[in-house]
């Protein structure tokens, strides 16, 4: 498994919602799956091959352009950057 709990990720081919950024909320190591949430209470299942990490430049740009507005996703990303305690 290439991702961790609390990590902000995006789907390679996002056809589920208007949001392209998700938060990993659970890992199912036995089946190699993640539970991801869009910050609006919508939960989905995903595998490693459809998830990609979000780098700092992309995430900050998404915040500035209004693509990411959910407080839970922003806090999780900031926390994982060791900027929030």
Residue pLDDT, tens place only, 50-71: 899 888 999 999 999 998 899 9
Over 70: is that where the pLDDT of 17 sits? no
For all residues of the chain together, what is the average pLDDT?
A: 86
Over 70: is that where the pLDDT of 18 sits? no
pLDDT value, residue 23: 94
Terminal CA-to-CA distance of the chain, rounded, Å? 26
Over 80: is that where the pLDDT of 73 sits? yes
Over 80: is that where the pLDDT of 78 sits? yes
pTM of the model: 0.81
Q: List, edge to edge, every strand of the sheet that includes 51-53.
A: 43-47, 33-37, 21-28, 8-11, 51-53
């Amino acid at each position: 498994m290439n991702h961790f709990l609390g990590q902000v990720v995006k789907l390679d081919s996002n056809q589920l919602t208007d949001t392209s950024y998700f938060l990993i909320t659970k890992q199912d190591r036995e089946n190699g799956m993640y539970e991801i949430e869009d910050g609006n209470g919508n939960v989905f299942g995903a595998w490693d091959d459809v998830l990609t990490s979000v780098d700092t430049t992309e995430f900050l740009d998404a915040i500035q352009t209004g693509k990411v507005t959910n407080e839970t996703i922003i806090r999780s990303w900031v926390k994982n950057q060791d900027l929030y305690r």
